[in-house]
Amino acid sequence: MHIVFLRKLFYLLCILCIFIIGCGNKADSFNKKGLSFFNQRKYDEAIAEFKKALEFNPDHFDANYNLGVAYYAKGMLDESLAELKRAIQIDPEEPKAHYNIAFVYLAKQMAQEAIQEYKTSVDLYSKKNDPIKESEALLYLSVAYSLTENHDKALSVCKRAIELNPKLEDGHYFLGVCYYKNNMYDEAIAELKKTIELNPAAEKAHSVLQVIYDKLGMADEAAKEGLIIQQLLQERRNR
């Protein structure tokens, strides 16, 4: 009798295991379809697929995370915030959820909350030994500090981002902007030139350089940057 009971229990456990695996596979499949739609910028279709994935597995981190990102892409900030918070509950140690929820907070003009989430993502990327992602998180942490008028902190954090990744184009650009805001024009020019070395078509770097040269009365240099900007604009129109 005992053996018969154990056999039935084993059979039921096998059925349950197969059911769970089946649900997991279906959730993964719908999540994959959602990503395909998302990459085509078909956000409504992507959202529908991510929701289907969550019907089979409500604790599917990627489906919750991707649904939050899709909502953000549609400007549905409250819905995005809810899904990304859910993803963080499922896996608090995954930095990308913290990193992306910070963008939602910035869009909702909640800079202090964004700063905290960027800090968390920086720490988690550091633990994962991912200096590229860590540098990007530091860059946007710097942007968030700048939005709160904490320009000294923005400057120091942006420097840290570049130390981790010297080829971070936007890092050099934003450091140049930080220097400009602090009236450190020579340093600003140097960083903006580094941006252009990394990407000669960095129109925004040329634009800020033009403003600085004009402010400093360097008419020839300002005119040269103006011509470059016009050329870049024309090239963009011809693509």
pLDDT of residue 126: 96
Locus of tokens 């968030």: 144
Report the share of the chain in percent with pLDDT over 70: 90
> What integer pLDDT is reported at residue 21 of this predicted model?
42
pLDDT at 11 exceeding the cut of 60: no
The mean per-residue pLDDT over the stretch 210-231 comes to 94
Question: Which residue segments constitute the domains of the chain, with CATH numbers given?
Answer: 20-92 (1.25.40.10), 176-239 (1.25.40.10)
Can you give the C-alpha Rg of the chain in angstroms? 24
Note the pLDDT of residue 12. Answer: 45
Q: What φ, ψ does residue 225 adopt, rounded to 5°?
A: -65, -35
CB half-sphere exposure, 48, CA atoms < 13 A? 5
Is the Cβ–Cβ distance between 175 and 143 less than 8 Å? Answer: no
**pLDDT tens digits along 144-179:** 999 998 988 999 999 999 999 999 999 999 999 999
The two structure tokens encoding residue 215: 């402010």
Q: Classify the phi-psi angles of 183: left when phi > 0, otherwise alpha if psi is within -120 to 50, otherwise beta.
A: left
pLDDT averaged over the chain? Answer: 89
Confidence of residue 221 (pLDDT cuts 50, 70, 90): very high
pLDDT at 237: 84
> How confident is the model at residue 120, as a pLDDT?
97
**How confident is the model at residue 3, as a pLDDT?**
43
- Asked if the model's pLDDT at residue 77 lies above 80, the reply is yes
CA-wise closest residue to 35 among 21, 20, 52: 52
Give the DSSP letter of residue 199.
Answer: -
Tell the burial category of 80 from Cβ atoms under 10 Å away from its Cβ (0-12, 13-18, 19+). Answer: buried
What is the pTM assigned to this prediction?
0.82
Q: Which residues contact 173 (CB under 8 A, 6 or more apart)?
A: 191, 192, 195, 202, 204, 205, 208
For CA atoms 230, 231, 235, 236, the dihedral sign is negative
Residue 72 pLDDT class (50, 70, 90 cuts): very high
The DSSP secondary-structure symbol of 239 reads: -
Q: Are 177 and 188 within 8 A, CB to CB?
A: yes
pLDDT in tens, 18-46: 443 444 578 888 899 988 999 999 999 99
Residue 131 has pLDDT above 70, yes or no: yes
Residue 218 has pLDDT above 50, yes or no: yes
pLDDT band at 2 (very low <50, low <70, confident <90, very high): very low
Distance between alpha carbon 35 and the CA centroid of its chain, in Å? 16
Task: Say if residue 98's pLDDT is above 90.
Answer: yes
pLDDT at 151: 87
Residues 6+ apart with CB under 8 A from 203: 229, 232, 233
